[in-house]
Chains A and B, each alone.
Chain A
Amino acid sequence: MTRSAVGTHHLETVMGMVVSIDIRDDDPTSSAVPDVVSWLHHVDRTFTTYDDRSPISAVGRGVLPPEQMTDEIREVLDLCEDMRAETGGAFDPFDVPAPNGTRFDPSGLVKGWAVERAAAMLEDRGCGSFMINAGGDIALRGTPEPGVPWRVGIRHPRRPDALATVIEASGRLAIATSARYERGDHIVDPRTGAVPDTLVSATVVGPDLTVADSFATAAFVMGLDGLAWVSGHAGYDAYLITSDDLTVWSDGFGEYKTSGVAVDGA
C-alpha cells in the first residue's frame, strides 16, 4: 500500500448538484459531515430560486420586509451588493433572470458562500485537511497526505473527460470556474445584456470561495480584461481559456499551475 486512505468521504446531492466532501484527517469529529450536510440543505431551502415559496424568492419579489430577514439573508444581500460594486456590475445578481420569475438570483454567490461556510464548520470541528467540491467550485484546506499538495484539474472546454491544466495547492485555497460549454450560454453581461463570447472559461483562485466565485463570473463577462482585473486583487489570480483556445493566466496562477511533467507518459 503506497497511499494511506484515512479520513471520510461523503457525497451529497443538494442545491441541484452533487457536493463532494473529502476529509483527510485521521479522525474527524463524528458530527462534522452531518453538520455540513444539514447546513447545505438549510441553505438550499432558504436560497433556492427554483421555489416560489423560499425566503429568497420573497426577497426577489420585494415582499419580505427587512425586519423579517434573517441574518443569513442580510449577509447574502450585503455580499451581493459588495460583489456587484467591486465588479463594476459585471457580476450583478440583482439584474438577472431567475427561475422564480424575478430579477434577483444570488445562486452563484450563495453556492460559494455556503461552501466557504461549510469549510469553516469543518475547521471548527477540528478538520485541517479537506476538499469540498460543489459542482466544480472548490474549497480546500491542508493537504491530502503529509507533504503532498491537492491536485485540481481545470476542465477542458470541449472535452468533458479531459483537463486543460492541473493546479497544485495546499493550505487554504478556493477555486471557482465560470464557463460556457457545449450545453449553451448561461452567462449574460448584466451591463449590456450581451452574451460574452471571448472566453469559454474563467477560473479564479484565491483565499475565499465567495469572492472567487463572483470574480470568476465577472472575469468571464470581462473577457481578457478580466485577467488584469482579477490579479489586481491581492491574493486572487485567474486562468482564462479563450474561444480560440488560447490559455492565459496571471503570474500568481502560475505558482499553482503544474507543467506537463505531472502527466503520465507525457
Chain B
Amino acid sequence: MTFGLTAAMASSDLQSPIIAASAPPTPSTPSVQVVPLRPSSGGSETQTNHVTPITPSSPSTQATTPTTQVTPTTQAAPAGPTTIDGQVIYNPFGAVQVEATFGADGSITDVKVLQAPNSNRLSVRINNYAVPVLNQEALSAQSAHINGVSGATYTSYGYERSLQSAIDSARAEAVTTLA
C-alpha cells in the first residue's frame, strides 16, 4: 500500500497541507520536515489521485471537492491523538508514504513520512501553525524583528530596495542615536 503527500489545496490562504496517511511503523533516520509554502493550484491536483482536506484549525476555510476517504473529525473531538489513514497521493516527485496524527481539536500534530522519492525513510512533521503564516503578509522584516535576511542576492544595484537595506537603515539609525 502506498500513500502520499501533496500540497494541492484550495484557494484560501489559511489552508493546511493535504496529508494522506498510512500507519506502518515509524522509522526516522534521517528526519525531514515538510510544509507547503502556499496552497498550490491546478497543476499538482492533476497529479493527485486523492485529496484529503485537513484544515481543522481554520474553521473559515472550505475544502475543494475532495475525493475523500478519510478526514479528521473536528466536531466530535476525540479525547487523545488519533492516527488516520489516507489515500494514495502523488506529488511531482512521486508518492510519499506518510502517517498523520491528529490532536483532540482535529489539528495535525504529527506527520511521519515513511518513504519519500529519492530517499529511504524519512520522518516528517507538519508545522500546522506555520502554514497560514507563510501565506499572510505578516512575515515582513519589520513584524518579524529580524536582524538579517538570507536568500537574497543583494547586488549593489538591487540592495537599495531590499529587506536587508531596511534592516541596515534601522540599525544604523539606532547606533547613531545612542552614540
Contact = CB atoms under 8 A, between A and B. Distances in A.
Interface of A: 3-9, 11, 13, 16-18, 20, 22, 131, 133, 135-138, 140, 144, 150-157, 160-166, 175-177, 179, 181, 186, 198, 201, 203, 223-225, 227-228, 231-232, 241, 243-251, 253-254, 259-266
Contacts, number: 215
B77 interface: no
Nearest to A137: B150
Contact of B138 (A20, A133, A243, A263): A263
Contacts of B136: 266
A22 B117 CA distance: 41
Interface string B157-173: 00101111101100110
A228 B132 CA distance: 27
B148 A153 contact: yes
Interface in B106-130: 116-120, 122-123, 125, 127, 129-130
A186 B153 CA distance: 11
Contacts of B76: none
B134 interface: yes
16 contacts: A5-B174, A5-B177, A11-B168, A18-B156, A133-B150, A136-B153, A137-B150, A154-B151, A160-B163, A243-B92, A244-B43, A245-B7, A246-B34, A246-B37, A263-B138, A264-B138
A262 B152 CA distance: 21
Given A165-B134, A247-B134, A248-B34, 12 more contacts: A150-B147, A152-B148, A153-B139, A161-B141, A163-B139, A164-B134, A201-B151, A228-B120, A244-B40, A244-B44, A246-B7, A248-B33
